[in-house]
Amino acid sequence: MNHWKKINLVIVSLFLFIAFNPSTQAHALDKGVLCHIKELLGPYPAKGSPEEAADFAELFKYQETRTAEQCAAAASEVKISLDHFFGGANGPLTQDEVKRLKPLMFKYLIKSGISSSLGKFLFKRPRPYVTNPALVPCIAKSNSYAYPSGHTTMARVYARVLAKKFPERAEQFMQRGDEVAMHRVLGGVHHPSDIVAGKKLGDALTKHLFSNKEFLKELEAL
């Protein structure tokens, strides 16, 4: 097993440990972090509220109008990684840039993924297709909770970090991050309000990351 596969295995194992061990919420997790996430994001739209109705109206609109090509694009982003979000055919990073940036992203962005998972546990919002079976996703379903969107959180952090590293392409990175987020709604696996929360969490995590002088030094040195 190569180096990156070992790291991936550790990350997946950590997510699974959090996901299937409720006791970690009361003991192993930092309660201060949970409180901060709760305060930052606030509650998701209540059942039967106009906001929830607006969520589902947009989801069903996508379900009626999305194309096979759009679903294929959304499906290509199911795996969270720098490559799938910003490399290859999806651009705007070259493969050489992906290769150089990946170690730094792994080192510092694990916390971003864990934070979105903690948020899901904190709010326990069902996926839209669980709440309303008439909604049929065109990409792979997930067994996790919906709020906030983890893909959106990570795409937002990636985009802001890349925009800082390559300011001349900042608009491209931000647009690409928004596209990844939108595909989660188009694909039928997230409410639009999950996306809003994911972006909010991503922005907060990036702000904290940019206060880390060690990170900024390593980013500049690449």
When pLDDT is cut at 50, 70 and 90, the band that residue 32 belongs to is low
* Residue 88, Ramachandran bin (φ over 0: left; ψ between -120 and 50: alpha; else beta): left
Q: What angle is formed at CA 100 by the lines to CA 215 and CA 153, rounded to 5 degrees?
A: 60
Asked if pLDDT for residue 25 goes beyond 70, the answer is no
User: CA 119 to CA 201: how far, in whole Å?
Assistant: 9
Q: What proportion of the chain, given as a percentage, has pLDDT over 70?
A: 85
With a pLDDT cut of 90, the percent of the chain lying above it is: 69
| Structure tokens given for 124 | 């326990």
Predicted confidence at residue 91, as pLDDT, reads 77
pLDDT at residue 9 above 50? no
Mean pLDDT of 31-36: 71
- What b-and-e string marks burial along 110-142, b requiring 16 or more CB atoms within 10 Å of the CB? eebbbbbbbbbbbbebebbbebeeebebbbeeb
What is the Cα–Cα distance from 1 to 4, expressed in whole angstroms? 8
pLDDT of residue 31: 60
**Which residues have CB under 8 Å from 173's CB, separation 6+?**
86, 92, 158, 159, 160, 162, 163, 166
Structural domains of the chain sorted by starting position, each given as residue range(s) with its CATH number in brackets? 30-221 (1.20.144.10)
pLDDT band at 111 (very low <50, low <70, confident <90, very high): confident
